[in-house]
Amino acid sequence: MKKIKLFIVSILIILNSSTLIADDFNNWKIKFKKRAINEGISKSTVNNLIDNSKFLPDVIKYDRYQPEFYEDTKTYISKRTSSKKVKLGKIILNKENNIINKVSSEYKVDKNLLLALMGIETNFGNYLGKMDIVSSLATLSYDQRRSEFFTKELITLLKLVDAKIIDPSTLFGSWAGAFGNFQFMPSTIKNHAIDYNKDGSIDLKNIEDSFASAANYLSNLGWNDNTPCFYRINLNENIPDKCLNTSAKKIKHERKVKYLKNYIKNSSFLDKYDNLTAAIVTPDAEIVENANKLKPAYIIFNNYKLILKWNRSLRFSLAVCTLKNSFENET
């Protein structure tokens, strides 16, 4: 009998909590709609999209438990750069060879990098996400962890719909509000996406628009095909802690390779990069309990830092560049 009473009490608590969240979320929607309309978005667009948005508890769960926060580097990279993924990438390249080569040449961005990003973001378009993006962004805007960031992304998305740049019926993607083959956030769509096939709209699930938009984004960031992304290295014990980057928030202590080689074992393979600026990252030190602070270690270059602007994760950048190298080794 006592167990039944406890069960009933638990259910009532959950129901009451859900009701409170629903009421609070509805109040948030009223305030948000006023802000969106004040920023010039039409009432019809705001009402149509925001009135139908829902609070999604799973989005909060996913936000708090991202693989970048808990997987060690070896596990993270191996999951995303398997031989199976390389084979799938080759199939896409063979099928869409003309457009991929054309875009790569036009924007001066390595086709293997484009394949790597598509492979890691959506497994070459096989996992585009099924979340209602408006509800995802509304949930994250309502949440307090990064409210202002996601509020701005939601405002941007509504403006894109209002301007008929994006078809609202296609707005399904990741829990974080990213969209299409390369998982663009609304601000990235606004600043870098293009209607490459000139059909009157930007469709980031379309091969032409998505590859061209990704190449345009990377080109705008400053990608350079003639410089490396990273190399794995072994460090000397005497390296100062200040030289070690364990977080992607801000890469510090950037120096010429010639200087950093003083702390790298068997560093002669880096001689040709002596005058390039680089930094050292040790990505496990911050998330893995009792991790060796010097292993694994990587010397990273500007191209690596550009990938951080795509997704601010040390492991994501390592995985992208590793998969890129795997594609290069297959050709």
Q: Which tens digits make up the pLDDT trace of 11-23?
A: 433 334 455 577 8
> What is the bridge-based pairing of β-strands 277-281 and 244-245?
parallel
- The whole-model pTM stands at 0.88
Mean pLDDT of the chain: 90
Nearest of 209, 211, 212 to residue 201 by alpha carbon: 209
Q: What are phi and psi of 251, to 5 degrees?
A: -80, 125
Q: Which tens digits make up the pLDDT trace of 258-301?
A: 999 999 999 999 999 999 999 999 998 877 776 778 899 999 99
Q: Which tens digits make up the pLDDT trace of 132-150?
A: 999 999 999 999 889 999 9
